[in-house]
Amino acid sequence: MGKSENLSKKTFSGFIWRFLEQCGSQGVSFIVSIVLARLLEPSVYGIVALVAVFISILNVFINSGMGVALIQKKDADDLDFSSLFYFNLAMCTLLYIIMFFAAPHIANFYAMPDLTPVVRVMSLTLIVSGVKGIQQSYVSRHMLFKKFFFATLGGTIFSAFVGIWMAYKGYGVWALVTQSLSNNVIDTVILWFMVKWRPKLMFSLQRIKGLFSFGWKLLVSSLLDRAYKSLRTLIIGKVYSAADLAQYNKGKSWPSLIVENINASIDSVLLPAMSKHQDNPEAVKAMTRRSIKTSTYLMAPLLLGLAFIGEPLVRLVLTEKWMPSVFFMRIICVTCMFYPVHTANLNAIKAMGRSDLFLRLEVTKKIVGLAIVAATMFISVKAIAWGSIVSSIASQIINASPNKKLMNYGYIEQLKDILPGILLACVMGVMIYPIQFLGLSDFVTLLIQVPLGAVIFIALSKILHIDSFEYVLALLKGYVGKRKQKD
């Protein structure tokens, strides 16, 4: 078997295992989040969400840059791995000490005295990440993604039982804290036993400098992006209440689940495919256009459908106390629906080698986004949410603007391509929405709305000969035909 064939098989196998890992862990986490949301008060979620933001920003120092540099280095050996292991562990310990002493100040800033012990305990995940980080790099470098699957799923399932039991026993915020910490610990322990590599008693500062020279740009980029994405959470936590933050985050979680599974899969495949045709603008345009049309066609009914059935769904699954999250869910659904436009345009720019344009677009978007956040932050949480739609529209226009010149595919033409799928999704939503006013139970209402919505969307797609519907149908028929031939 040739090297290229072997690499291709390992790549495909790795993709399957990473996809199963993501779907499995997110599926379990989603079910657990529903159970915990029914047992715990929204304010509890707000406290943990606030602390999680700080930890996620600090985790960028651990998970971005240096680890990627280790994966990218052609001749990485035990000295590189061991040196970075000890360096990471020292950095994580330092970060934990900083968070330990900063905890009272964070609590004072947000006027939440109970935040101090929560910050100190949850920050222990930083040290755990220091132990796990190099193991993850080793697994990625050697494409042993099957080990990720078992480690991640094991940690998720174990922490699920712990979190639910503690919530049922009335431990409140500590149920979520323990769930988060135990998830990381068990994940790390399983990975440690499954991966044969162990750090050796060797260290080279010169090797660290070499890895840092490559990784610092990635680190700074990831840090800026994570800080910007966390801005609304930090502002809501400061200006408003923990309960408001919990409702906002809960409303964001369901649409994000749809986007992360569909858009992330598309994103991982699109860039390398486009890169092979970087010298052919027409080919890049064709792939960009197909990606935008098909992705939006698939995501629009899911997201707008979720928006239209939000009230009976949240009331049935999460109970009445989470009903304020429906407003934010609907806002985020609309925002997320246009993610394929962002993804395809940016991948086209990167594939054609225009990193200068990419950086310029990122800076412009961040400036516009910060201005919108500043204009809405003191009005209300709902105003902040509305601002995210304005920011999304502005970002779409900014991301698409260079591609009018690069491949003759501007924003107006892109809107024309995605409009049929969005309009069909809107029609579907308007037709199923009134069912909730018939006086039926929430369960029966959803039992009618969901399948009826699917039938309406598919039927209209077939009747109107929607291009994306026929494309997806042809793909499915081709796949089924190949399976039959194999059988």
- Out of 12-16, 19-23, 289-293, give the one with best mean pLDDT: 289-293
How many angstroms separate the CA atoms of 82 and 78, rounded?
6
Establish if 96 belongs to a structural domain.
Answer: no
Establish if 303 belongs to a structural domain.
Answer: yes
In this predicted structure, the answer to whether residue 12 has a pLDDT above a threshold of 50 is no
Establish if 191 belongs to a structural domain.
Answer: no
* Low-confidence winner among 226-235, 267-276, 308-317, 351-360 (lowest mean pLDDT): 267-276
**Nearest to 242, CA basis, from 107, 125, 384, 101:** 107
In this predicted structure, the answer to whether residue 55 has a pLDDT above a threshold of 70 is yes
Residue 142 DSSP code:
T
Which domain covers residue 385, as residue numbers? 239-487
As given in the structure block, the two tokens for residue 65 are: 């840059």
Task: Give the model's confidence band at 222: pLDDT under 50 very low, under 70 low, under 90 confident, else very high.
Answer: low
Mean pLDDT value across residues 88-111: 88
Establish if 224 belongs to a structural domain.
Answer: no
How many angstroms separate the CA atoms of 337 and 58, rounded?
29
Helices (H) and strands (E) in the chain, counts: 21, 0
The confidence score (pLDDT) of residue 312 equals 92
Task: Give the model's confidence band at 4: pLDDT under 50 very low, under 70 low, under 90 confident, else very high.
Answer: very low
The total domain count for the chain is 1
The confidence score (pLDDT) of residue 26 equals 64
As given in the structure block, the two tokens for residue 78 are: 């035990």
**Residue ranges in 195-280 assigned as alpha helix (H):** 205-229, 231-239, 242-275
* Low-confidence winner among 171-175, 286-290, 463-467 (lowest mean pLDDT): 286-290
Please answer whether residues 258 and 264 qualify as being in contact, where contact means their C-beta atoms are separated by less than 8 angstroms.
no
Establish if 368 belongs to a structural domain.
Answer: yes
3-state secondary structure of 112: coil
The confidence score (pLDDT) of residue 409 equals 79
Establish if 446 belongs to a structural domain.
Answer: yes
The confidence score (pLDDT) of residue 5 equals 47
The confidence score (pLDDT) of residue 58 equals 79
**Nearest to 203, CA basis, from 354, 286, 112, 89:** 89
The confidence score (pLDDT) of residue 379 equals 93
The confidence score (pLDDT) of residue 65 equals 55
The pLDDT tens digits for 343-385 are 777 777 766 666 667 667 777 888 888 899 999 999 999 999 9
Q: pLDDT: is 456 or 141 the higher one?
A: 456
CA angle, 1 then 270 then 227, to 5°: 120
Task: Give the model's confidence band at 429: pLDDT under 50 very low, under 70 low, under 90 confident, else very high.
Answer: very high
How many angstroms separate the CA atoms of 76 and 317, rounded?
49
CA angle, 30 then 387 then 382, to 5°: 65
Please answer whether residues 326 and 251 qualify as being in contact, where contact means their C-beta atoms are separated by less than 8 angstroms.
yes
Output the furthest CA–CA distance in the chain (Å, rounded). Answer: 71
Task: Give the model's confidence band at 132: pLDDT under 50 very low, under 70 low, under 90 confident, else very high.
Answer: confident
Task: Give the model's confidence band at 8: pLDDT under 50 very low, under 70 low, under 90 confident, else very high.
Answer: very low
The pTM for the full model equals 0.70
Q: What is the 3-state secondary structure (H, E, C) of the chain?
A: CCHHHHHHHHHHHHHHHHHHHHHHHHHHHHHHHHHHHHHCCHHHHHHHHHHHHHHHHHHHHHHCCHHHHHHHCCCCCHHHHHHHHHHHHHHHHHHHHHHHHHHHHHHHHCCCCCHHHHHHHHCHHHHHHHHHHHHHHHHHHCCCHHHHHHHHHHHHHHHHHHHHHHHHCCCCHHHHHHHHHHHHHHHHHHHHHHCCCCCCCCCCHHHHHHHHHHHHHHHHHHHHHHHHHCHHHHHHHHHCCHHHHHHHHHHHHHHHHHHHHHHHHHHHHHHHHHHCCCCCHHHHHHHHHHHHHHHHHHHHHHHHHHHHCHHHHHHHHCCHHHCCHHHHHHHHHHHHHCHHHHHHHHHHHHHCCCHHHHHHHHHHHHHHHHHHHHHHCCCCHHHHHHHHHHHHHHHHHHHHCCHHHHCCCCHHHHHHHHHHHHHHHHHHHHHHHHHHHCCCCHHHHHHHHHHHHHHHHHHHHHHCCCHHHHHHHHHHHHHHHHHHHHC
Please answer whether residues 272 and 393 qualify as being in contact, where contact means their C-beta atoms are separated by less than 8 angstroms.
no
Residue 198 DSSP code:
-
What Cα–Cα distance (Å) separates residue 161 from each residue in 28, 183, 319, 462?
11, 10, 21, 45
In this predicted structure, the answer to whether residue 425 has a pLDDT above a threshold of 80 is yes
Mean pLDDT value across residues 300-317: 91
State percent of the chain over pLDDT 90. 16
* Low-confidence winner among 26-30, 144-148, 210-214, 293-297 (lowest mean pLDDT): 144-148
As given in the structure block, the two tokens for residue 242 are: 């923990």
The confidence score (pLDDT) of residue 3 equals 47
Mean model confidence pLDDT for the chain: 78
Establish if 146 belongs to a structural domain.
Answer: no
The confidence score (pLDDT) of residue 18 equals 55
The confidence score (pLDDT) of residue 214 equals 60
**Nearest to 375, CA basis, from 188, 189, 232, 225:** 232
The pLDDT tens digits for 138-155 are 666 665 656 656 666 777
In this predicted structure, the answer to whether residue 223 has a pLDDT above a threshold of 80 is no
Please answer whether residues 155 and 183 qualify as being in contact, where contact means their C-beta atoms are separated by less than 8 angstroms.
yes
The confidence score (pLDDT) of residue 426 equals 93
Establish if 54 belongs to a structural domain.
Answer: no
Task: Give the model's confidence band at 72: pLDDT under 50 very low, under 70 low, under 90 confident, else very high.
Answer: low
How many angstroms separate the CA atoms of 458 and 223, rounded?
42
